[in-house]
């Protein structure tokens, strides 16, 4: 009896550690994907993002810590559409984890779960710009796409972990319900933008514009990924004046000089929009992101 008393606490500890070890290890390329994975995975997953939401997701430097994360992952979630083309392939190669290689069940490219805008027909060349060769990869900025992404993640988790499939499905349904409740409020707040022309710094907000009914008529970047020149800024300035374009939207990680210059010359309002979960303090989940975007639209920068 005495001996049993000593053994039991040990057994309990062992059970607990096995359970937590059995959590599905999810690694994501961005914090938006991590937030969605946490929303549908709940207690059965452990989620880590390879990049922070404060950074431009087109670029990352593969670090040993990132390789270790990919090596241990059961499931890798990526944005796809070439968003991570500059940094993920060498990471996948170094990590030598067959589970998460493209085509295997531990690899989920969420661009396959949403309608991709801006797909090009015909050959693609560098003359078209540095990025977005396979269409526009900024699709997580349409809240309706968040629902598609969450559904795809829940389905894949259910395949990898059938024991908890019902829980993933239930959590997805709750996520979809929350979105249904929140979207009309965001739309009402941004209703003043309806059909208005807007300039974006990079072609990242086409999905947001699609969801909230405004029009992006031009970009500060002359081509995706190409910095503006004096000549391109000058022709943009002419257009802003001629068409009386009232608002410029941009991510926090781009240079501000061009926006400041356009603001000084034309009076255009500049709204710096957080583009990802984690881009700012307080944006901890996917719903926070759109709350913060709506707030940022109303908080234009004065120069």
**Residue ranges that bind Zn ion, judged by CB under 5 A:** 131
Instruction: Round to whole Å and give the CA distance between 269 and 48.
Output: 36
Residue number, 38 or 219, with CB nearest to Zn ion: 219
HSE-CB of 187 using CA atoms within 13 angstroms = 14
Task: Work out the number of other CB atoms within 10 angstroms of the CB of residue 233.
Answer: 17
Contact (Cβ atoms closer than 8 angstroms) between residue 49 and residue 73: no
For residue 150, the tally of other CB atoms under 10 A from its CB is 26
Q: Which is nearer to Zn ion, 131 or 209 (CB)?
A: 131
The answer to whether the beta carbons of residues 99 and 105 sit under 8 Å apart is: yes
Q: What SS3 class is residue 272? A: strand
Cβ distance to Zn ion smaller for residue 67 or 131: 131
- Residue number of the CB closest to Zn ion reads 131
Rounded to the nearest 5°, which phi and psi values hold at 200? Answer: -115, 155
Q: How far is the CB of 283 from Zn ion (least distance, A)?
A: 19
Closest approach, Cβ 194 to Zn ion, in A, equals 25
Nearest-approach distance from CB 224 to Zn ion, in angstroms: 6
Is residue 180 classed exposed, middle or buried when 0-12, 13-18 and 19+ CB atoms within 10 A define those classes? exposed
Q: Which residue has the tokens 């990680």?
A: 253
Minimum distance of Zn ion from residue 244's CB (angstroms): 27
**74, 71, 68: which is closest to 108 by C-alpha?**
74
Which secondary structure element, helix H or strand E, spans residue 48, and what is its range?
Answer: strand 45-49
In whole angstroms, the minimum distance from the beta carbon of 81 to Zn ion comes to 9
Q: How far is the CB of 225 from Zn ion (least distance, A)?
A: 7
Q: Which is nearer to Zn ion, 258 or 266 (CB)?
A: 258
Q: Which CB sits closer to Zn ion, 161 or 219?
A: 219
Nearer to Zn ion, 113 or 200 (CB): 200
């Amino acid at each position: 009896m005495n001996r049993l008393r000593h053994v039991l606490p040990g057994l309990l500890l062992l059970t607990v550690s096995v359970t937590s070890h059995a959590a599905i290890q999810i690694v994501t390329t961005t914090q938006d994907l991590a937030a969605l994975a946490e929303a549908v995975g709940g207690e059965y997953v452990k989620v880590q993002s390879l990049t922070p939401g404060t950074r431009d997701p087109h670029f990352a430097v593969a670090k040993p810590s990132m390789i270790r994360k990919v090596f241990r992952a059961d499931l890798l979630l990526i944005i796809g559409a070439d968003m991570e083309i500059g940094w993920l392939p060498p990471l996948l190669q170094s990590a030598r984890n067959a589970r998460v290689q493209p085509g295997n069940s531990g690899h989920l490219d969420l661009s396959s779960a949403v309608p991709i805008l801006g797909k090009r027909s015909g050959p693609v060349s560098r003359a078209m710009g540095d990025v977005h060769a396979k269409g526009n990869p900024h699709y997580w900025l349409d809240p309706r796409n968040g629902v598609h992404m969450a559904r795809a993640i829940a389905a894949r988790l259910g395949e990898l972990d059938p024991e908890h499939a019902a829980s993933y499905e239930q959590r997805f349904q709750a996520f979809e319900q929350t979105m249904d409740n929140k979207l009309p409020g965001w739309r009402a707040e941004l209703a003043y933008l309806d059909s208005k022309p807007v300039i974006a710094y990079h072609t990242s907000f086409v999905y947001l514009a699609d969801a909230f009914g405004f029009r992006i008529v031009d970009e500060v970047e002359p081509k995706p990924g190409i910095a503006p020149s004096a000549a391109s800024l000058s022709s943009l300035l002419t257009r802003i004046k001629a068409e009386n374009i009232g608002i410029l939207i941009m991510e926090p990680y781009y240079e501000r000089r061009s926006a400041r210059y356009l603001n000084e010359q034309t009076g255009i309002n500049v709204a710096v929009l957080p583009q990802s979960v984690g881009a700012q303090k307080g944006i901890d989940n996917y719903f926070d992101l759109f709350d913060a975007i709506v707030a940022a639209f109303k908080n234009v920068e004065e120069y």
